[in-house]
Structure 1
Amino acid sequence: MPIDRHKALTAAPTSRVITWSTRDVLLYHLSLGAGAGPAADPELRLTYERGLQVLPTFAMVAGSGPSAGDTPFAADALPGIDIDPRAMLHAGQDLRVHRPLPPSGTATLTSRVSEVWDKGRAALVVLASEATDSDGAALWTGTMRIWVRGEGGFGGEAGPEDTPTEPGRPADLVVDTPTTARQALLYRLNGDLNPLHADPEFARSVGFDRPVLHGLASYGLVGKALVDGLLDGDPTRLEELSVRFAGALTPGETIRTSVWREEGGAPGTTRLLLRATCPERDDAPVLTHATATVRA
């Protein structure tokens, strides 16, 4: 069996040292459209190395950009996991940033498989990770959920079912973020060179009409929409972002982020419910089961 659940869950965590540079951060921000309207707002806090701030979602590509060289770490190199990459689908992502990320730095990234759920026709692999600085203090923690077609039916538990809940009222904020035809070509330079995001022939071979935008690009675009539309342009106020990837976005389409504020939450923070859709396709879902935590 390509997934050995017992081996995966009992294996020692894997660790590697990652580094990133200011140029990696600048590229990431540009790949999300920062500075696209320089006549109105060049967004120098995100596009210029002097006083550079870092979007928290950069954690998703830290250590994978140009500074990583030509042989980046293989994310699927984990004990007990032997999967054909073509069977894998990034199903969901959680991220919690414990303090503002530096524009350049080094961290130790530790990962482990925390669960493997049996979904019948597929397996859902849950990969937990933590990045720490040289003193061992946490920079960020994350959870990646990977849907693996054809690997279910092994008799395991199905795991919890999350039901998306949205208030029965209009959203408190709606932000439309256009993408460009070359958005995926630029975003892939952050480290994910999957031909699905560049090669029309390959995209058609796996069931898409054309190349699609990376799921983590949509994730980053929603994070930036929250910073721009709700947090006065201050990325340090976005502490947590959790989503389920529900549909692909084609470069050139718009991602519409709807936001509802919730009552309660930890002192000094606000919890948000989110939904991201594509208005050009009758608000087809892009990200669902989405929440965020922001500082007041």
Structure 2
Amino acid sequence: MPIDPSVAIGAELGSTTFSWSESDVLLYHLAIGAGSREGDNLSPDALRWTLDGPSLQVLPSFGVVVPTFHATDPPPLDLPGCEINLAQVVHGSQSVEVAGPLPTSGTATVTTTLTDVWDKGKAAVIWQEGVARADSGEELWRTRSSIFVRGEGGFGGERGSSEAVAVPDRDPDLQTSYAVTPQQALLYRLCGDRNPLHADPDFAKRAGFPAPILHGLCSYGIVLRELTSGLLGGDATAVRGFTARFAGVVFPGETIQVSGWHEDGRVVASATIAGGERDGSPVLADCVLSV
């Protein structure tokens, strides 16, 4: 059978040791749109994302991508108990929790485990958890993510749970937008995700899309950056975690509108497409920024 939960759940995917530099941090921030607004090249607040030196800070979402930052092959899907096709896969959700501010350079080891496999009938949802530790054994950050595999449900597994995050019934404390550049996905793929779905028009069409789509994790980073800049004074060290569900696709050239609310000691948010034929289409939902 393509998916066997008895084999998959609890399977360890091994450990990977990796290093990163200030240059990697700068590339990541540029790939998620930092420094793109007029005047950002002169703004001390904006330059905290894009200029190496003592003022450089690291957005916590960097921890999600840095273990594979220098990968040049498409992401492998050789998951125990899961025989799936890359063209059937979309990112379902993502979270990151940090133990403290991420260093601008360093070395860590991440250990990843398959934690759950859900049967949604027409699709399967596969969950992974990764824990990154310094050489001393100290935990640096923890990630949890799911992939949505179309056409691979119906294997008789648990359906799983879903908890929607309601946004307040009032005007948002922040409403801003970011215009995704035509080359955004081509730039972001240099951060270690060479999935052809985001670059190859023919591959995208075979996967059911009219054109390559933006990486979900690029949208994730854009939204976190916009919320951090707009509601936390641009202070990445104030972020303790960020969770979001990927609710729809973004095509390069579209505009992402971000709405955020301070609520119960945290920030809840949503992101949609602004303008064009897909105005109002969802991008990210169930967004929670922990502070």
TM-score, normalised to structure 1, is 0.90
Q: What is the SS of the residue equivalent to 1:61? A: helix
Q: What is the SS of the residue equivalent to 2:240? A: strand
1:253 equivalent in alignment to 2:254: yes
Choose the corresponding residue for 1:271, options 263, 266, 275: 266
Offset at residue 75 of structure 1 (A): 5.0
Choose the corresponding residue for 1:283, options 277, 280, 285: 280
Instruction: Tell me the alpha carbon deviations over residues 224-272 of structure 1, each in whole angstroms, 9 at most, x when there is no partner.
Output: 0012111111111111111110111111211111112212xxxxxx212
2:19 is matched with 19
Offset at residue 113 of structure 1 (A): 0.8
1:48 is matched with 51
What is the one-letter code of the residue matched to 2:235?
D
2:224 is matched with 223
For the structure 1 residues 128 and 40, does the alpha-carbon distance in structure 2 shift closer, same or farther, using more than 3 Å as the test?
A: same
Write out aligned runs for 1:1-296 (5 A): 1-12=1-12, 14-36=14-36, 37=38, 38-41=40-43, 43-51=46-54, 52-65=56-69, 68=70, 70=72, 74-263=75-264, 270-280=265-275, 281-294=278-291
Distance (whole Å) between structure 1 residues aligned to residue 192 and residue 247 of structure 2: 22
Does the 8 Å contact 2:241/2:290 carry over to 1?
yes
Does the 8 Å contact 1:14/1:78 carry over to 2?
no
Offset at residue 44 of structure 1 (A): 2.3
Tell me the matched-pair count.
Answer: 285
Q: Which runs of 5+ in 2 are unaligned?
A: none
Distance (whole Å) between structure 1 residues aligned to residue 15 and residue 282 of structure 2: 35
Does the 8 Å contact 1:108/1:131 carry over to 2?
yes
Distance (whole Å) between structure 2 residues aligned to residue 204 and residue 70 of structure 1: 22
Q: What is the SS of the residue equivalent to 2:101? A: coil
Distance (whole Å) between structure 1 residues aligned to residue 195 and residue 73 of structure 2: 14
For the structure 1 residues 39 and 110, does the alpha-carbon distance in structure 2 shift closer, same or farther, using more than 3 Å as the test?
A: closer
* More contact order relative to length (CA 8 Å, sep ≥ 6): 2
Q: What is the SS of the residue equivalent to 2:244? A: strand
Offset at residue 40 of structure 1 (A): 4.6
Instruction: Tell me the alpha carbon deviations over residues 16-57 of structure 1, each in whole angstroms, 9 at most, x when there is no partner.
Output: 112212211111011112222345526322212212211111
Offset at residue 282 of structure 1 (A): 2.3
Does the 8 Å contact 2:12/2:114 carry over to 1?
no
Q: Which runs of 4+ in 1 moved over 6 A?
A: none
Distance (whole Å) between structure 1 residues aligned to residue 118 and residue 284 of structure 2: 21
For the structure 1 residues 13 and 251, does the alpha-carbon distance in structure 2 shift closer, same or farther, using more than 3 Å as the test?
A: closer
Distance (whole Å) between structure 2 residues aligned to residue 46 and residue 154 of structure 1: 45
Distance (whole Å) between structure 2 residues aligned to residue 156 and residue 69 of structure 1: 33
Q: How large is the Cα RMSD of the aligned pairs?
A: 1.8
Does the 8 Å contact 2:73/2:194 carry over to 1?
no
Offset at residue 188 of structure 1 (A): 0.7
TM-score, normalised to structure 2, is 0.92
Distance (whole Å) between structure 2 residues aligned to residue 160 and residue 210 of structure 1: 32
What is the one-letter code of the residue matched to 1:47?
T
Of residues 110-119 and 154-163 in structure 1, the stretch that sits farther from structure 2 once superposed is 154-163
For the structure 1 residues 168 and 71, does the alpha-carbon distance in structure 2 shift closer, same or farther, using more than 3 Å as the test?
A: closer
